[in-house]
């Protein structure tokens, strides 16, 4: 199990635990554990790449899309946000910025329910991510949340310049100054041929 616990310790920058290997077409499955007492945000970045030259609060940035995991707002969990420097917006659903508009979220996002481990340490959620070409799909607890075609976005010039969107690393994420308790386990990545 991998635990991220920054509760009571908000003095940190963004944190990413990144795979050494790069992936293009793959299926990722994992389990994650969240808590009502945790208001922070996490996610799973994919086809991403670290860029030391990007100026962030303390330097460097992990460009690329990410599947959001937000215990405080379960609706967002499973949606796709593009962390690419200069893009920084929801791409599934397609929104102009980071503001979440409930009425614009995909139908599956409205019924996403998380199980919380505050009183049951055996309570785990599942996340499945499939990247096959430009088709990106997500499921949370076996509920399809996103069915997204990234053609024209994840393969545009901005993403090509950052060398992300088509191939890259997978990373677990902690947002700047967030107080979060989250656990991950049973992480399985299967390449798609």
Residue 143 has φ and ψ, to the nearest 5°, of -105, 120
Q: Are 108 and 145 a contacting pair, CB within 8 Å?
A: yes
Strand ranges inside the chain, DSSP E: 2-5, 15-18, 26-33, 42-51, 61-63, 65-69, 80-82, 89-92, 125-132, 135-140, 143-149, 169-174, 181-191
- pLDDT at residue 8 in the model: 94
pLDDT digits (tens, 9 = 90+) for 163-172: 999 999 999 9
* Residues 6 or more apart in contact with residue 116 via CB below 8 angstroms: 34, 35, 36, 71, 123
The residues pairing with 128 across neighbouring beta strands, listed in sequence order, are 29, 139
Confidence of residue 56 (pLDDT cuts 50, 70, 90): low
For the entire predicted model, the pTM comes to 0.94
Q: Is the pLDDT of residue 180 over 70?
A: yes
- pLDDT at residue 109 in the model: 82
Confidence of residue 112 (pLDDT cuts 50, 70, 90): confident
- pLDDT at residue 36 in the model: 92
- pLDDT at residue 60 in the model: 84
The CATH number of residue 63's host domain is 2.60.120.560
- pLDDT at residue 63 in the model: 96
Q: What is the mean pLDDT of the chain?
A: 93
**Averaged pLDDT, 20-41:** 95
How many domains does the chain fold into? 1
Domain interval for residue 167: 2-191
């Amino acid at each position: 199990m991998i635990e991220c616990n920054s509760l009571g310790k908000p003095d940190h920058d963004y944190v990413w635990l990144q795979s050494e290997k790069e992936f293009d077409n793959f299926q990722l499955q994992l389990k994650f554990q969240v808590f009502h007492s945790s208001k922070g945000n996490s996610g799973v970045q994919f086809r991403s790449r670290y860029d030391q030259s990007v100026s962030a609060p303390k330097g460097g940035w992990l460009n690329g899309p990410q599947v959001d995991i937000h215990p405080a707002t379960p609706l967002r969990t499973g949606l796709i946000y593009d962390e690419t420097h200069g893009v920084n917006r929801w791409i599934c659903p397609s929104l102009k910025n980071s503001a979440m508009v409930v009425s614009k979220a995909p139908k599956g996002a409205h019924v996403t329910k998380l199980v919380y481990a505050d009183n049951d340490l055996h309570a785990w959620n599942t996340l499945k991510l499939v990247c096959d070409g430009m088709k990106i799909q997500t499921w949370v607890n076996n509920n399809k949340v996103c069915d997204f075609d990234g053609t024209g976005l994840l393969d545009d010039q901005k993403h090509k310049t950052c060398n992300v969107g088509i191939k890259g690393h997978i990373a677990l994420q902690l947002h700047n100054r967030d107080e979060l308790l989250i656990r991950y386990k049973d992480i399985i990545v299967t390449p798609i041929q």
